C-alpha cells in the first residue's frame, strides 16, 4: 500500500510475460453525506474505469477535476487525495479517492491592488464576482480573463484566502500590473505561393488607455510590393527575373485606423469607428483602391463573445490606365460594369473565441458569423445579401491533457450571396477559394474556371462592337509585340470549404503538420453539383517565432478542368493562348502530357492556416 507510488506502480510497465498493471477496484471515501458527485463525473470524463490499464497521470487528472468541480459548487476548502493498493499476484491496483469538501462558502471582501492609471471603478465593472455570491472557482477564472481583456494589464493575479477553513466568507485579493499603454510594433515578412513572391513590412501603434478613459486607438500600416501581370515575362524566365530585379514592382498598402470607446452604456456596450484604405492587385488583373469606413456599436456580454453591428460604406476603384483597358473590363465583367462603384450597407457580426492562445492554439474553438445587407442609394446601384460563417475547433489528441504532443484542428467555412431583384453582383464581393489559408493545392482564388484576356502594344486601338472588345481583330500589331495575359477566375455565388490538420509539436520551436482541404465553389447555386468539388492534401512545418508561427506547407492535388486552360479567350492570337501558372510544374513549362499527373504547390507564410 502506498500514498504516491512513483516507481513500478506509476509507470505500469509490462512484466516479462507481457502483462500490464490494471485498475482493480475504485473506491470513493467521502466524509460527508450530501455531495456534488463531482468525483463520479470526473471518472466518467477521464475514462477511468475498473479493468483499464493503470496510469498515474489519470489518477492525477481525476483528482484535479474532482477538486475543481467541488470548488465550483461552493466548497472552497475542499481537498482531494488518493490512496493506491497494489496486488502483485493479481497484477492490479485498487484506487481509493479521499474527499473532504469542508464547509460551503461565499465570496468575502474583494480587495484590488496595483492599479495606478486605470481607475478602480473600471476594474470593478469588469469583475464577474460580488461579495456574498456563492463561491465558484470558475468565476475567478472568468474574472481574470475579463481583466486581461481590458487590454491594460500585463499581469492579473486573483488569490482567494483559504487559510481559515472555518471562515465561510472567503476574502479575495486581486493584484494587477499595468502594461504599457502605448506600444509600437514593427514587422516584416513575405508570402510565396509557389509562383509569386510578395514581400511585406508592417507597423502598428496602439494606445489602450487614451485620456485615462480606456479609449483604445489603433493605427496600422502594411506596405509591400507586387508584380502586375503586364510586367512579368513568361516562365521560367519570369520566375528568375523576380529575384534578379529585372521586373518593376508596384507598391501596395493597407492602412487602418480605429478608435474604440468601450463604455457607451456600462462596461458591456461600446462604440467603434474604423477606417481602411487598401491598394493592391486583384485577381492577377489590375490594381485597385478600396477606401472604406464603419461605425459600429459593440456588445460584449462575456470576455469571449463580441457582437457588432452598424453602417458600412466603401468605394472600389480599378486603376484602369487607358480606354482600351476599360473596354476589356466591360468585356470581362459585363455591360453592367461600373468603375468606380460604391456600397452602402448594414453589417452584423458575432464572434465567439474560447481558444487558449490565438497564435499557438492547442484547445478551444472560434466561431464567427457575418452578414451584410447592401442597400442601393441609386437605381443602378448594387443590392444584395452576403452571409459568411466560419468555425474552428482545436483539441489535444490523447485521453489526458499532455499525454501526446498532437493537436487536431478543424475549420469549416461557408459564404453565400443573394442578389435582390435579379441585380448583378460586384466581382470583388464574390466567393473565391484557393490560397495559403484556404485550399492549399491552389494559388490564391484559382479554384474553378477562368477566362483569359490578351493585350498587345499598338497605336490604333481595338475594334469595338456594342461596347465589347473583339476577340479576333487587332490593329497595329506585329509578330514582335509583347503579349500580356490576364487570367480572371469566375468566382461564385456560394462556397463551402473545410480543412483538417494534425499538428505535432516536436522540439526547438519546430512543429510538423499533415492536412487535407476540401471545397465546393458554385458560380450559380442552381447549376452546380459534385463536379465543382475540389480537394488537396499535404504536409508542412512551422517554426515558433516571436511574431507567430512561420509556416511552410507543401500541398498536392489531382488535376482539374481549369488546369487545361481558360473557359473563354478574349483578344488573343491562337498562338498566344496558354494556361495560367497554377503550380510549380506549370511555372517551368510543365503543361500537357509531359507533366506529372498531380499539381504541387509550396506556401510560405506567417501564421497558421487557421
Is 221's pLDDT higher than 70? yes
Query: Which of 330 and 289 is assigned the larger pLDDT?
Result: 289
Range in 12-21, 172-181, 481-490, 586-595 the model is least confident about: 12-21
Question: What would the pLDDT profile of 155-188 be if each residue is shown by its tens digit?
Answer: 999 999 999 999 999 999 999 999 999 999 998 8
Range in 33-42, 219-228, 470-479, 495-504 the model is least confident about: 470-479
Phi then psi for residue 309, to 5 deg, are -155, 150
Give ranges for CATH 3.10.20.310 in the chain. 8-100, 106-178
In the numeric block, the cell 444584395 is attached to 384
Is 283's pLDDT higher than 80? no
Query: Helix, strand, coil: what percent of the chain each, to 5?
Result: 15, 45, 40
| Nearest of 558, 534, 549, 556 to residue 609 by alpha carbon | 549
CATH among 3.10.150.10, 1.10.3720.10, 3.30.460.10, 3.10.20.310 for 106-178: 3.10.20.310
Is-contact 368 305, C-beta < 8 A?
no
Give ranges for CATH 2.40.160.50 in the chain. 182-606
pTM above 0.75, yes or no: yes
**pLDDT on residue 234:** 44
Fold of 182-606: Porin (2.40.160)
Range in 38-42, 107-111, 247-251 the model is least confident about: 38-42
In the numeric block, the cell 481525476 is attached to 62
Question: What would the pLDDT profile of 232-247 be if each residue is shown by its tens digit?
Answer: 444 445 445 555 555 6
Choose the most confident range, by mean pLDDT, from 86-90, 217-221, 558-562. Answer: 217-221
* Helix, coil or strand: residue 146: helix
**pLDDT on residue 472:** 41
Is-contact 451 488, C-beta < 8 A?
yes
What percent of the chain lies above the pLDDT cut of 90? 48
Beta-carbon contacts of 559 under 8 Å, excluding residues fewer than 6 positions away, are 597, 598, 599
Average pLDDT score over residue span 125-150: 91
Average pLDDT score over residue span 338-356: 93
C-alpha cell, 502: 494534425
Q: Is 217 exposed, middle or buried (0-12, 13-18, 19+ CB in 10 A)?
A: middle
| Nearest of 537, 538, 544, 553 to residue 511 by alpha carbon | 544
pLDDT category of residue 22 using cuts at 50, 70 and 90: confident
Is 128's pLDDT higher than 50? yes
Average pLDDT score over residue span 359-378: 93
Is 28's pLDDT higher than 90? no
Query: Which of 301 and 387 is assigned the larger pLDDT?
Result: 387
Average pLDDT score over residue span 195-214: 88
**pLDDT on residue 416:** 97
Beta-carbon contacts of 244 under 8 Å, excluding residues fewer than 6 positions away, are none
pLDDT category of residue 8 using cuts at 50, 70 and 90: very low
What is the DSSP secondary structure assignment for residue 410, as one 8-state letter?
E
Range in 21-35, 158-172, 534-548 the model is least confident about: 21-35
Average pLDDT score over residue span 358-384: 91
**Residue 324: in which H helix or E strand, if any?**
helix 323-333
Fold of 8-100: Ubiquitin-like (UB roll) (3.10.20)
Query: Which of 133 and 32 is assigned the larger pLDDT?
Result: 133
Amino acid at each position: 500500500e502506498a500514498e504516491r507510488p512513483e516507481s513500478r506502480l506509476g509507470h505500469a510497465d509490462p512484466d516479462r510475460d507481457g502483462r500490464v498493471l490494471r485498475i482493480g477496484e475504485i473506491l470513493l471515501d467521502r466524509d460527508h453525506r450530501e455531495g456534488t458527485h463531482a468525483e463520479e463525473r470526473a471518472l466518467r470524463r477521464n475514462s477511468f474505469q475498473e479493468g483499464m490499464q493503470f496510469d498515474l497521470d489519470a489518477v492525477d487528472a481525476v483528482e484535479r477535476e474532482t477538486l475543481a468541480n467541488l470548488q465550483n459548487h461552493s466548497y472552497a476548502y475542499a481537498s482531494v487525495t488518493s490512496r493506491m493498493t497494489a496486488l502483485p499476484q493479481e497484477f492490479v491496483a485498487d484506487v481509493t479517492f479521499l474527499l473532504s469538501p469542508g464547509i460551503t462558502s461565499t465570496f468575502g471582501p474583494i480587495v484590488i491592488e496595483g492599479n495606478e492609471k486605470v481607475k478602480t471603478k473600471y476594474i470593478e465593472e469588469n469583475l464577474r464576482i460580488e461579495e456574498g455570491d456563492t463561491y465558484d472557482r470558475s468565476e475567478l477564472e472568468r474574472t481574470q480573463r475579463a481583466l486581461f481583456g481590458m487590454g491594460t494589464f500585463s499581469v492579473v493575479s486573483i488569490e482567494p484566502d483559504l487559510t481559515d477553513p472555518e471562515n465561510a466568507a472567503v476574502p479575495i485579493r486581486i493584484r494587477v500590473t499595468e502594461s504599457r499603454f502605448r506600444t509600437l510594433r514593427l514587422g516584416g515578412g513575405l508570402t510565396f505561393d509557389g509562383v509569386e513572391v510578395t514581400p511585406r513590412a508592417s507597423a502598428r501603434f496602439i494606445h489602450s488607455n487614451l485620456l485615462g478613459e480606456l479609449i483604445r486607438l489603433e493605427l496600422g500600416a502594411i506596405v509591400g510590393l507586387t508584380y502586375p501581370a503586364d510586367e512579368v515575362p513568361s516562365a521560367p524566365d519570369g520566375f528568375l527575373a523576380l529575384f534578379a530585379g529585372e521586373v518593376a514592382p508596384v507598391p501596395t498598402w493597407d492602412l487602418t485606423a480605429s478608435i474604440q470607446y468601450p463604455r457607451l452604456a456600462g462596461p458591456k456596450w461600446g462604440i467603434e469607428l474604423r477606417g481602411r484604405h487598401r491598394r493592391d492587385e486583384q485577381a492577377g488583373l489590375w490594381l485597385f483602391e478600396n477606401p472604406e469606413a464603419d461605425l459600429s456599436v459593440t456588445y460584449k456580454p462575456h470576455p469571449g463573445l463580441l457582437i457588432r453591428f452598424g453602417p458600412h460604406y466603401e468605394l472600389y476603384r480599378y486603376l484602369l490606365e487607358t480606354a482600351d483597358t476599360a473596354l476589356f473590363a466591360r468585356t470581362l465583367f459585363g455591360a453592367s460594369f461600373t468603375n468606380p462603384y460604391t456600397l452602402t450597407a448594414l453589417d452584423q457580426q458575432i464572434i465567439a473565441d474560447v481558444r487558449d492562445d490565438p497564435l499557438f492554439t492547442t484547445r478551444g474553438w472560434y466561431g464567427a458569423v457575418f452578414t451584410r445587407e447592401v442597400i442601393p442609394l441609386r437605381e443602378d446601384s448594387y443590392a444584395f445579401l452576403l452571409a459568411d460563417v466560419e468555425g474552428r475547433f482545436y483539441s489535444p489528441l490523447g485521453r489526458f491533457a499532455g499525454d501526446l504532443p498532437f493537436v487536431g484542428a478543424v475549420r469549416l467555412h461557408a459564404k453565400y450571396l443573394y442578389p435582390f431583384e435579379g441585380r448583378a453582383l460586384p466581382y470583388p464581393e464574390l466567393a473565391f477559394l484557393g490560397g495559403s489559408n484556404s485550399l492549399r493545392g491552389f494559388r490564391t482564388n484559382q479554384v474553378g474556371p477562368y477566362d483569359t484576356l490578351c493585350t498587345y502594344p499598338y497605336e490604333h486601338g481595338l475594334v469595338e462592337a456594342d461596347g465589347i472588345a473583339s476577340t479576333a481583330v487587332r490593329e497595329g500589331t506585329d509578330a514582335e509585340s509583347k503579349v500580356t495575359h490576364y487570367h480572371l477566375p469566375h468566382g461564385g455565388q456560394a462556397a463551402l470549404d473545410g480543412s483538417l490538420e494534425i499538428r505535432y509539436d516536436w522540439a526547438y520551436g519546430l512543429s510538423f503538420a499533415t492536412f487535407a482541404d476540401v471545397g465546393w465553389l458554385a458560380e450559380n447555386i442552381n447549376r452546380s453539383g459534385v463536379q465543382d468539388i475540389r480537394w488537396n492534401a499535404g504536409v508542412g512545418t512551422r517554426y515558433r517565432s516571436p511574431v507567430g508561427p512561420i509556416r511552410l506547407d507543401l500541398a498536392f492535388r489531382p488535376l482539374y478542368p481549369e488546369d487545361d486552360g481558360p473557359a473563354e479567350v478574349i483578344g488573343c492570337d491562337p498562338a498566344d493562348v496558354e494556361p495560367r501558372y497554377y503550380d510549380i510544374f506549370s511555372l517551368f513549362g510543365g503543361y500537357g502530357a509531359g507533366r506529372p499527373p498531380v499539381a504541387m504547390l509550396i506556401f510560405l507564410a506567417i501564421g497558421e492556416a487557421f
